[in-house]
Amino acid sequence: MYFLKLIGRNSLRHKLRTALTTLGIVIAVLAFGLLQTVVDAWYAGANAASATRLVTRNAISLVFPLPITYRDRIRQIAGVRSVSQANWFGGVYISERNFFPQFAVDAATYFDMYPELVIPPDQLQAFLRDRKGCIVGRKLAQTYGWRVGDVVPLRGTIHPGTWEFVIRGIYQGRDTSTDEVQFFFHWQYLNESLRRSQSQLVDTTGIFLIDVDDPERTAEIARAVDATFRNSLAETLTETEKAFQLGFVSMTEAIVVAIRLVSFLVIVIILAVMANTMAMSARERLAEYATLKAIGFAPGFVRRLILGESIAISLAGSALGCALTFPVAHLFVSRMGTLFPVFQVSAQTVALQIAAGLLIGVIAAVAPGIRAGRVRIAEGLRAVG
């Protein structure tokens, strides 16, 4: 108890210096946590992917469609439980800044394949009855103030014209990691409109979604799907849903790496600041440490005293930084709109923040502790003047 009291008094001896150092640690740990959360948000889609879902796309590129007739042939492959399809729409709501993902889906099969999208039964039935109906995510509806029954106009970019949809349902995520900023409407409505305009994209889809009965057989079933369409006019590439999502992440891999490097660079900078603070404190107290050694305290006691002070300051700043991460993250994502569908501070991020704070405290105390432990009594006492 006396040892802890001594650490506390030493930590608060220079209140301004301690306060400024703690503030620096708070800012560094907060920035580290936010940057790590941004990285987690980048991988949120891949981490939430199901182990029983496969995605089939055109082997050349995702921009090339697949014939809708492939759906029945895929359904006949052993191990396939159900098949659905989705088309990227790419519409604009009011202005290009209002970006959110929009998909034309097979309403009869899509939502059965995604149980994590929870839709009230009456709203789902209303959607199924209305060809111009749409289902939107809870967060997306909150962002734009939409309600069930509202009409949402989208200006087509891939498919020209103004498309109007009626909101028939708002889904919620079953888990906190579920994306709630998606917009779904009927593939049949899109296809009928394309048929009237005599588009070459009629009776095609961007991807097929395959639900398999055994996650251990996903690789086998993926190979079987691709073998079915080998040497056809539109060969396929089938991969797990997670691999499909990671394909998009890989396009911005350099950004993710840069964010990671910056987050760790922040910790290194504050480590240098903390080390300088502890070096100044130890240098000012050489006479005190020499006195402690003169009355019988071992060098190890002096080192532990410096280490305890460094860890106490560092962990105090880390704890406050961790506590501030949650409200600041909430404020940040509220200002970013739908850019990050899933943005939550994970337990792993908090653990990294605490570990970083502890590491800062330990490393910053190494050099001052060694010097104080080695100081000669006579030399230390002469430092009084």
* Residue 13, pLDDT score: 81
Q: How far apart are CA 8 and CA 116, in angstroms?
A: 50
Distance of CA 219 to the CA centre of its chain: 27
* Residue 299, pLDDT score: 78
> pLDDT truncated to tens, each residue of the chain (385 aa)?
667 777 777 788 888 888 888 899 999 999 999 999 998 888 888 788 888 999 999 999 988 999 999 999 999 999 999 999 999 998 999 988 888 999 999 999 999 999 999 999 999 999 999 999 999 999 999 999 999 999 999 999 988 889 999 999 999 999 888 899 999 999 999 999 999 887 888 999 999 999 999 999 999 999 999 999 999 989 999 999 999 988 887 777 788 888 889 989 999 988 888 888 888 887 777 776 777 777 777 778 878 888 888 898 999 999 999 999 999 998 888 877 777 788 889 999 999 999 999 999 999 988 888 887 777 766 656 655 4
* Residue 378, pLDDT score: 63
* Residue 385, pLDDT score: 44
Is residue 158 a contact partner of residue 90, using CB atoms and an 8 Å limit?
A: yes
Q: Around Cβ 148, how many Cβ atoms within 10 Å?
A: 16
Q: Which two tokens stand for residue 266?
A: 């922040």
Q: Mind giving me the DSSP string for 78-127? A: TTEEEEEEEEE---BSSSTTS---EEEE-HHHHHHH-TTEE--HHHHHHH
Please report which helix (H) or strand (E) contains residue 243, including its range. Answer: helix 241-250
* Residue 255, pLDDT score: 84
Domain map (residue ranges) of the chain: 2-44+252-382, 60-234
